[in-house]
Chains A and B, each alone.
Chain A
Amino acid sequence: MRFRLKLLLGGLAAATIQLAFAESGSIGLPKTVQAGTAFSIQSRGSGKAILYIVGPGQVLERNVQLGETTPFPAGSLYNAGHYLVVLAIDLTTNTGSFDVVPADKPADLSFLAKPSRLPVGLHDGITGAVYVFDAYHNLITAPTPVSFELSTPSGTVQKRMVVTRYGAAWTEWDSTAQQGIDRFAARIGELSSTRIVGQVPGDPCGLTMSARQSGQQVHLTTEPVRDCSGNAVPDGTIVTFTETYSGAQSTVDVPLKRGIAEMQMPAHRGAMISVASGVVLGNQIRWEK
């Protein structure tokens, strides 16, 4: 009985010592650390221990002297996320956790503008989305104002300020009436990212042709072909001439060259000649000569 009591007291004493050790090895942690900044971890007690900082973003290990402050210089911990802290003292461990948050200052914009080429005058045709990152490529989730700027071929600049939500911001613009190159930029302070958007003429808005005699042929020529905003439709666009005579029909496709399409067809008295490009139908001529 006396032996059992001694054993029990001995066990209690050992447990008390172990608790004291555990208590003495407790750690003082920051609640949050900004990515890349210096910080320190404090421990109590005496002796040596190994300190682990463990997270999906990084793992660090330090030999520490209990009772001292362990400094972590700037750049030690730079990936945002949740980190466990394990202070291993012989057979016991003390644990804690803290968060690493992204740096305040944006350093990188992931900017995607679409499309790279589109017709003029398209409503909400140009879109841009941006994700904002710090210097360590952590997504900055704090609301951050982003300036979107669209410089048009005419020299005008449209600006729009959008505040990020969960690190992302987006905008959309109409393509303007004038063909040419747009510069589409996302900007935060001095930081910017620019994409080029080509605005090309739209489909022909109307087609007008004229006809004249050329020997046994009729020579057909269109007026300069333009879109509905007045931009010249690009060379190579196909214009179709159709001649109908005595129930027979002949069709010829001609690419625009220097803004116009021209060709010759057999001159039949009473023939109907029409012109079209895409869905646009031009004028008709009845050849009476």
Chain B
Amino acid sequence: MLKPILILCAVLAACSGFGIGQATVRVEPANLPGPRPLPEQTGTAAIRDYLQSWQSFRSAFELNRSDLLDPAFVGTARDKLTETIQQQAALGIRTRYQDRAHDLQIVFYSPDGLSIELTDKVDYDVEVLDSDKVKTAQHVRERYIIVLTPAEVRWRVRVFQAVPD
């Protein structure tokens, strides 16, 4: 009797665990005060690249590998996240972030077209692991401010900062 219950628990845990399912994404109409109209294709690309940056962020923090940040992050954001990963590694802990929902809005497109700023009310789960043992798991809903700048073939995250509502 015990064995089937354990198996059921394992299956339920796996289904509700991290890495299963994709985050839901809601994009509000852009609220741009600047003089430069944002081409739809540019806005779409920026949001796509930002959402992909969560995958890099998640992998880098779970594996304590800052090199996984490189495709998606640049400048201050990359420096800060890299430093945090180094701190995690030094303490022997890892963190597992899983985004569940994004509520996005583009709020600034610079007149020169060289930066896009957006806000993201993001729901995510975070686990803190010490030697593969989960020390805590929490659900977080936080607003992030993101500044993206263009690189060779994609937008990269230059500022990635949670701000209290």
Contact = CB atoms under 8 A, between A and B. Distances in A.
B partners with A: yes
B83 interface: yes
Nearest to A54: B128
A165 B33 contact: yes
Contacts of A57: 80-81, 84, 161
Interface SS majority for chain A: strand
Contacts of A59: 84, 87-88, 91, 93
Interface stretch (A39-47, A124-132, A186-194): A124-132
Nearest to A171: B111
Contact of B164 (A32, A54, A79, A168): A32
Contacts of B95: 54
A82 B136 contact: no
A268 interface: no
B34 interface: yes
Contacts of B164: 32, 82, 99, 101
B138 to A, nearest CB: 6
Contacts of B128: 52, 54, 84, 86
A84 B138 contact: yes
B23 interface: no
B84 A56 contact: yes
A108 B57 CA distance: 26
Nearest to A91: B133
Contacts, number: 120
B45 interface: no
Contacts of A138: 161
B87 A58 contact: yes
B68 to A, nearest CB: 14
Interface in A131-152: 131, 137-139, 141
Contacts of A102: 161
A79 B93 CA distance: 19
A114 interface: yes
Interface in B129-162: 130, 135-136, 138, 140, 142, 145, 147, 159-162
A88 B131 CA distance: 14
Interface in A90-137: 93, 95, 97, 99, 101-102, 112, 114, 124, 127-129, 131, 137
A99 B35 contact: no
A112 B36 CA distance: 15
B101 interface: no
B78 to A, nearest CB: 12
B111 A55 contact: no
Nearest to B95: A54
Interface residues of A, number: 40
B108 interface: yes
B136 A95 contact: yes
A192 to B, nearest CB: 19
A262 interface: no
A250 B95 CA distance: 77
B110 interface: yes
Contacts of B80: 56-57, 79, 137
Contact of B111 (A32, A61, A86, A170): A170
* Most A CB within 10 A of own CB, among B61, B97, B112: B112
Contacts of B84: 55-59, 79
26 contacts: A52-B93, A55-B162, A58-B87, A59-B88, A61-B91, A82-B142, A82-B164, A86-B135, A86-B136, A95-B138, A97-B138, A101-B163, A101-B164, A114-B111, A114-B112, A127-B112, A131-B115, A138-B161, A139-B147, A141-B145, A141-B161, A165-B108, A166-B117, A167-B117, A170-B33, A170-B111
Interface of A: 32, 52, 54-61, 79-82, 84, 86, 88, 93, 95, 97, 99, 101-102, 112, 114, 124, 127-129, 131, 137-139, 141, 165-168, 170, 172
